A = this chain, B = another copy of it.
Amino acid sequence: MSTSAKGGYHHGDLRAALLSTAMRMLESGETFSLRAIARNAGVSPTAPYRHFPDRNALESALAVQGFGDLEHDLTDGRDLPTSVADLAEFGVTYVDFAMRRPALFRLMFGNPCDNSDDERVRAANALHELLEQALANVVPESDTTALACAGWSLAHGLAFLHLDGKLPADSPEEVADRVRSAFLAMTDIPKERAPRLKPPAARHPGQRRRGTDR
């Protein structure tokens, strides 16, 4: 076979084989452990330690790959966005990535990040810069740093909330629509609303002070 190798005591390219096995397992939802990866790669339980100092390092390597793939999805064959609508499609792609590869996405983000892994940090930064460029392209005269941050956060939050089932995600189209709506709705808010003379009824309806009423 291609990834594993020439079948002797020495494997050939175990590092790559482990990564691809791990990625496959991650995406097929199998339980994810160093030992299981080694098992699936047809190698002894501790062989991975010859190539990765610990589990975290292997995860980081996968995350780096993930960042690359995500960046690829966002850029390949399309121009930088030039309108809010384009931007929304950017968001759709981002969230779609998360939904198609949830475990990988969690691995890339949902972890206390290992900032000691240089390559991983670099990969994450590359993504950040890409997003900033995209935003700068859409709204050149504004505070692009804040905007990039906002755009990224919006997409990121949508991704996680869908992943966690906090927002219904029965079909990809439904999700995509929601992402588009969110992006468009957000830019629709009138900038400075005349502060409506706060009616006293604007108290939180269901408010309860924790432990008192119930």
Contacts and interface: CB of A to CB of B under 8 A. Distances in A.
A129 B204 CA distance: 11
Nearest to A126: B206
A47 interface: no
Given A79-B198, A109-B164, A190-B139, A153 B154 contact: yes
Report copies per complex: 2
A46 interface: no
Contacts of A192: 83-84
Given A137-B202, A164-B111, A68 B150 contact: no
A161 interface: yes
A126 to B, nearest CB: 8
Interface of A: 68-69, 72, 75-76, 79-80, 82-84, 102, 106, 109-113, 115, 124, 126, 128-130, 133, 137-139, 142-143, 146-147, 149-161, 163-167, 178, 181-193, 195-196, 198, 202-207, 209-210
